[in-house]
Amino acid sequence: MPRYKGRASFPSSKYLGSSKSHHTERFRKIALFLVICAFLYASYIMLLDQILLLSLTGVTASALLPEKQPCSSSTNDVPQYFQTTPELWAGPTATGRAPFLAQTDPVSFAPTVTFVPNTPLETAQPIVGQGRNESIFQLMGQLTPYLPNPSGFGVAEYPLPPGAKIAQLQLRNIENQPLFKLFYVHQKLRQHVSESYSNIIYADNSQMLSRHGARYPTSGSNVATFGEKVANYTGKIDATGALSFLNDWKYELGYEILVPRGRQELYDSGILHYYKYAQLYNPHSKIIARTTTQDRMLKSAEYFMAGFFGLEWTNNVTIEVIIESTGYNNSLAGYDNCPNANNYRSAGGNNATNQWVATYLQNATARFQSMVSPEFNWTVVDTYAAQTMCPYETVAYGYSAFCNLFTYEEWVGFEYAIDLYFAGGSSFASPTGRAVGIGYVQEVVARLQNHTLGYSGSQINTTLDNNTATFPLNQSIYFDFSHDTNIMSILTAFGFTQFAEALPATHHPGPHNLTVSHMEPFGARLDIEIIKTPKPLAADRTYVDGKETTYVHFILNQRTLPLGLSFPECGADRLDGWCELDTFLDVQSKSTKDAQYEYACFGDYPAEPYGSVTNGVPNS
């Protein structure tokens, strides 16, 4: 029997070392596999953190995503609606002669007159009947150089109450923290998302709709026609007195593109909005801003962005350029796919303006006819064109000799003529007033309710609005650019009936709400703020018991539009003009039906005389 029973069952030292080495190698492989798995899991967690954070702060392109594309591109791989060069559907782009105000400014500031420097326009001209602190350059309707509404819309302006905030994503600074510190945030976000994902971005935004800046006249305008008439009488007009300058005058304005003042208005607006809303923008995001293909529209957007973001704005925003041409769907130019907005059915405003012009310019027409040769038949149409020349030449050249041809009272009449035109062409006295603006109203509501638009029954571009790449929902700030008449129709489509008062074409009624100089000057802007308060805010702006409440606040040209005056559900007695967001959205749920888009824009209904339409839709 062997000395050591079972000895053969014990391995020798040689085989023992080999077995240990084998087990060690297996352990190393398992450990390495576990380390790799842990690393991959950690990477997944951190990547998910970033995706959640970016989606919550309005980011559409960031350091985690592919390199940002430049805003301006002519390459074929960039969709047409993101191309800004070359310009497509730009419209007329002829420029006019250059200004030379240092030589042409005739305004005298003798020792008896207080010196008022041009800033940059010469607006210190002596006007017959103009009182202290009055200016004709605040009476030029949609041709008024931008100014904040000087009188407001019926309510005072208030600061936010304690504890309230303009709604914005509260995680805006997290992206500055080291990545490994995000685990706690990740857990909180996952918990919040699982509880209610839709509430993360519901209503967390501010929206701005801006008009373009000061421009040259549109092609076919009355000033161009007047210029041709004067040119046809060169050497035969024999103008005297105040009109003597016409003997050497030439019409040299361009067409439709921005003038320098217009560029300044949008740049200044961008700076102003940066000071007001900069913290709504996440500096690591690249947002979408929308404009149209017209040259002045694209340039207005670009100058605004330069003011808001600086000259490197293409790192922060991509401009979406929507085709503006007859027959194309575009909520920023809603009349292009509303034929009845461009025919005799919507001519009431133009008819009312002509009637009023014949009244208030009767004396001026006789005055000017006496200053030219008899063979130059100076009509009231010429007088109105000459008056319209003043704002156009002023923003183009800095000074116009046409301005002081008219008395202050005649300038008040000029402003009212434009009010009549907008009331009957784009507001509640127009059968297409609501229909032209309803598409943009639908887009505002869709953003607030966090959904795209695949069908609207209006003139929105559903190809773009049904895609979050072109109609994003996760931005905390939105910028859109449009036209004066379109913005007026948007206010009408919202239902701002405080502007629905009847305006007579026979006489000036005195102060009235629909004053275009206050609503749609060059560079006009409508800001829609979403405000959250820790508790409900009563009409007298005192807190009452309850939970956090969200409000909407409309601001037109830096003055509050009181929602309660037009929507009683919002509370006509509110001092601040706000409205609870849920109430406002409930009111707007009826706006599409109220606009009657299909019938108003395409229906076969009779044209009615100015004043018979009162609700922005056809009567029959």
Q: Is the pLDDT of residue 148 over 50?
A: yes
Mean pLDDT of the chain: 84
Strand 525-533 with 287-292, pairing:
unpaired
> Is residue 146 in some structural domain?
yes
Q: Kindly state whether residue 364 falls inside one of the protein's structural domains.
A: yes
What does the pLDDT average to over 313-323? 97
More confident residue, 350 or 123: 350
Contacts of 589 (CB under 8 A, 6+ apart): none
Give the domain CATH number at 474. Answer: 3.40.50.1240
Per-residue pLDDT of 451-494, as tens digits, reads 999 988 999 999 999 999 999 998 999 999 999 999 999 999 99
State residue 18 phi and psi, 5-degree precision: -65, -40
Whether 198 maps to a domain, the answer reads no
Give the integer Cα–Cα distance in Å for 267 and 299: 10
- Ranking 22-26, 97-101, 124-128, 145-149 by mean pLDDT, the lowest is 22-26
Q: Is the pLDDT reported for residue 132 higher than 80?
A: yes
pLDDT at 182: 31
318 assigned to some structural domain: yes
Is the confidence at residue 112, as pLDDT, over 80? Answer: no
Domain membership of residue 255 (yes or no) is: yes
Q: For residue 76, what pLDDT is reported? A: 59
Average pLDDT in the 331-339 region? 97
CA atoms within a 13 Å half-sphere pointing along the CA-CB vector of 27: 6
Residue 216, in any domain of the structure? yes
Distances (CA, A) of 224 to 227, 228, 231, 360, 464: 5, 6, 11, 22, 37
Mean pLDDT of 83-108: 68
**Residue 336 in contact with residue 330, Cβ under 8 Å?**
yes
Residues with Cβ within 8 Å of 461's Cβ and at least 6 positions away in sequence, in order, are 322, 328, 329, 330, 331
Q: How many domains does the chain have?
A: 1
260 or 44, greater pLDDT: 260
User: Does 585 fall in a domain?
Assistant: yes
Mean pLDDT of 32-37: 65
- Which of 438, 405, 422, 185 lies closest to 329 in space, CA to CA? 438
Count CB neighbours of 250 within 10 A. 11
Q: Name the one residue in this structure whose structure tokens are 């639908």.
A: 442
What tens digit of pLDDT does each residue of 432-455 get? 999 999 999 999 999 999 999 998
Per-residue model confidence as pLDDT tens digits over 199-217: 333 345 689 999 999 999 9
Which residue, among 325, 266, 257, 337, has the nearest Cα to 293 in the 3D structure?
325
Query: Which residues form the domain of 524?
Result: 112-159+204-602
Could you give phi then psi for residue 413, rounded to 5 degrees?
A: -65, -35
Question: Is 258 domain-assigned?
Answer: yes
Cα–Cα distance for residue pair 326/527, rounded to 1 Å? 28
Decide which of 190 and 556 is more confident: 556
CB 253 within 8 Å of CB 96: yes
> In terms of pLDDT, which residue wins out, 169 or 264?
264
CB atoms within 10 A of CB 164: 18
Q: Is the pLDDT of residue 5 over 90?
A: no
Token pair in block for residue 12: 């020798």
pLDDT at position 384 = 99
**Helix, strand, coil share (%) of the chain residues, nearest 5:** 45, 10, 45
Least confident of 154-168, 465-479, 536-550, 603-617: 154-168
CA distance 378 to 590: 50
pLDDT value at residue 206:
85
Can you tell me the distance from the alpha carbon of 203 to that of 343, in angstroms, rounded to the nearest whole number? 38
pLDDT value at residue 237: 92
Report the alpha-carbon distance of residue 89 to residue 299 in Å, rounded: 13
DSSP strands (E only) in 173-240: 206-211
| Rounded-to-integer distance, Cα 538 and Cα 578, Å | 10
Q: State whether the Cα torsion 440-442-443-445 is positive or negative.
A: positive
Amino acid letter, residue 516: V
Looking at per-residue pLDDT, the higher value among 74 and 554 belongs to 554
User: Encoding tokens for residue 499?
Assistant: 């502007």
From residue 62, give the alpha-carbon distance in Å to each of 48, 67, 282, 334: 14, 8, 10, 33
Note the pLDDT of residue 82.
Answer: 73
